[in-house]
Structure 1
Amino acid sequence: MGKWWRGIGVLAVALFAVNVVARLVIRFGFDGADTTAADRVTLGMFVVIGLILAGVAARWSHRRPVADWGPDIAAAIGVALALTMLVGPLLVGQSPFADSGDVFFAQIGLYLVATGAGVLLGYLLVTALGLDHRSRILKRYAEIKTAKPRRVVRR
């Protein structure tokens, strides 16, 4: 049980760490008036988060069925999203609700789109290559069925 929570926690902390690094780069690397640079760093953050989740989804889908790892990734994304939205701004000296509610909910939407795209990309890539758990089981089943000699039925 502890090993199960450890994987979720490590993934959530990794996703949150990417956000913290992006916030610190924006805070100390650029002045407040340069919004295009901040937008580029934010876009890079979403790409890195998506790639991390694509790799995790590819690795976990290789070993386990989707029903086993799907809720784990969803829990990690939920925890990372809560940390990103509520704790992340506090680390750089801002309030989580400093901007309007529209900006707050837009950030949540963008985060969910980036994470969903990353998970989907990783899973679809592994599935297309036939390396996911289900494809490997079906391949093994087909090999076993074709390896058995045909039984002769007497009448």
Structure 2
Amino acid sequence: MLRHRWTPVVLVALALFVINVIGRVVVYVAGIDGDQQMFMASLYSMIAMVLVAGYAGFRWTRRYEMVRVVGEVGLAIILGSLLTTMVSPLFVGLNPFSGGASIYLRMLGVCFVLCAIGALVGSLIVLAVGQDRTGRAWKYQEQRLRAKPRRTAKR
């Protein structure tokens, strides 16, 4: 049972990683040299990663309590960010630490913050619409209370 609980977390982390690897390979194969083209390619890759994190936040918030959402989606984003910054440069022959520790930590921070914002927006959409577990439970209680006819007091 525990194995099935963490499988989606690993899949989201791998999806974030694969998106970044695909973006890096496309840039490498296309031979993009200009800073503007490199920036646009990495921007598209990051937008796709934010959308995946947003969908994960959306889906988890609909299904589970918020504590579990924060823990599992947060772990998926942390794993995805670490894989993105440490392993994906190796696919195109780059050293992740070539610019120094400060550059690496900045890249890790940017990746984590953008994916976290995406997951937060996905969760907030579910909360705003009232489709989270608590919102649905409150709606059910309201409907149940309104469906009962009022009892009159006997004298």
Q: TM-score, normalised by structure 2?
A: 0.91
Q: 1:48 corresponds to which letter in structure 2? A: A
Quote the residue 2:57 is aligned against.
Answer: 57
Aligned residue for 1:107, secondary structure, equals helix
Could you tell me how far 1:101 is from its partner in structure 2?
2.6
State how far apart, in whole Å, the 2-side matches of 1:138 and 1:30 are: 55
State the alpha-carbon separation in 2 of the partners of residues 56 and 106 from structure 1.
Answer: 24
Q: Distance in 1 between matches of 2:77 and 2:56?
A: 12
Runs (5+) with no aligned partner, structure 2: none
Counterpart Cα distance in 1 of 2:13 and 2:77: 6
1:46, distance to aligned residue in structure 2 (A): 1.2
**1: distance between equivalents of 2:6 and 2:55?**
19
Match of 1:71, SS state, is helix
Report what 2:77 is aligned to.
Answer: 77
Q: Quick one: distance in 2 between partners of 1:82 and 1:17?
A: 12
Structure 1, residues 60-88: CA drift from partner, whole Å, max 9, x if none? 21111211222111111111112112111
For residue 154 of structure 1, report the CA deviation from its aligned partner: 5.1
Aligned to 2:4: 3
Query: 2 CA distance for matches of 1:129 and 1:57?
Result: 14
Q: Secondary structure, in 3 states, of the residue corresponding to 2:111?
A: helix
8 Å contact from structure 2 (residues 85, 96) kept in 1: yes
Equivalent residue runs for 1:33-44 within 5 Å: 34-44=34-44
Total equivalences in the alignment: 154
- Measure, in 2, the Cα distance between the counterparts of 1:109 and 1:82: 10
The residue type paired with residue 16 of structure 2 is L
Aligned partners of 1:68, 1:148: CA distance in 2, in Å? 34
Identity of aligned residues (%): 28
